[in-house]
Structure 1
Amino acid sequence: MLDDISLNILKILQEKARVPNIDVARQVAMAPSAVLERIRKMERQGIIDGYEVRLNPARFNRRQIAFIEIRSRSVGDRPETGEALAAIPEVQEVHYVAGDDCYLVKVRVADTTELAALIREKIAVIAEVASTRTTTVLHTYKETARIPIRA
């Protein structure tokens, strides 16, 4: 179980992962060495899964987001299908979902022309893919991988 100090450290790191350890220590009123040990322990325990740089999609001509609902030819989750979808570089998320469709995939591409090519040339050619239904994003108000932490 995580105590309030560890939860506060996680909140700080989610806000800015590159924050200097000394700054974290000041914010939680602990010695820097103790904070570093807590962070390393949370990494070892798998609480902290990793650190990631968020790039500006516009700088890489990747402004268009789309969600693709994929219906499989078979009933049930086929790990090889999920893995094949996950291996596509433009795919940011793959979720096996309940309901009529089997997978919900988030992609980021330059534009709708690239989106159409992605569906036609990389997704539809996967053997288990029976059909797709695509929703394109017009404007994003929030996009995050942060998990709400309550002390």
Structure 2
Amino acid sequence: MLDETSLKILKILQEKARIPNVEVARQVEMAPSAVLERIRKLERQGFIDGYEVRLNPERFDRRQIAFIEVQTRSVGDHPPTGQQLAAIPEVQEVHYVAGHDGYLVKLRVADTAELAAIIREKIAIINEVVSTRTTTVLQTYKETARIPIRG
């Protein structure tokens, strides 16, 4: 179980992963060396999966978000299909979901023409795929990978 200090450190890092260790130490009122050791321990224990830079999608002409429900032939999870979907560079998330015997895929593209091409040329050709149903995003109000940390 995590103590209050470790939870506070995780909240700080989740807000700004590039924050200097000295600043984290100041905020939790600990020595920088002790904070660094806690962070390394949190990494070893699997509480921290890694660090990632969030790029501005508009600067890379990736304004269009779409969610695609992918229905498959097989009932149940078929890992090779999930892996094939995950290997498509424009795909940001792949989830095996209940209800439609398939996957929910989130991807980012430049426009609907690119979206159509990816569905036709990269998703529909996967052997297990029977059909797709696409929802395009008109406006995003919140998008984050952060998880709520209580405590």
Name the TM-score class by shorter chain: over 0.9
| 8 A Cα contact 1:91 1:105, kept in partner | yes
| 8 A Cα contact 1:69 1:101, kept in partner | no
| 8 A Cα contact 1:9 1:24, kept in partner | yes
Structure 2 distance, partners of 1:119, 1:102, is 15
Cα deviation code 1:87-107 (max 9, x no counterpart): 000000000000024100000
Other-structure match for 1:133: 133
| 8 A Cα contact 2:68 2:104, kept in partner | yes
1:90 counterpart letter in structure 2: E
In the alignment, structure 1 segments of 5+ residues that lack a partner are none
Q: What TM-score do you get using the length of structure 2 for normalisation?
A: 0.99
Q: What TM-score do you get using the length of structure 1 for normalisation?
A: 0.99
Q: Percent identity?
A: 81
Q: How many residues align?
A: 151
Other-structure match for 1:114: 114
Other-structure match for 2:36: 36
Other-structure match for 1:63: 63
In the alignment, structure 2 segments of 5+ residues that lack a partner are none
Structure 2 distance, partners of 1:54, 1:140, is 16
SS in 2 for 1:85: helix
| 8 A Cα contact 1:11 1:149, kept in partner | yes
Other-structure match for 1:10: 10
Structure 2 distance, partners of 1:67, 1:20, is 36
Residue 96 of structure 2 is aligned to residue 75 of structure 1 = no
SS in 2 for 1:48: coil
Cα distance, 1:74 vs. partner? 1.1
Residue 49 of structure 2 is aligned to residue 49 of structure 1 = yes
Structure 1 distance, partners of 2:101, 2:64, is 22
Structure 1 distance, partners of 2:140, 2:62, is 13
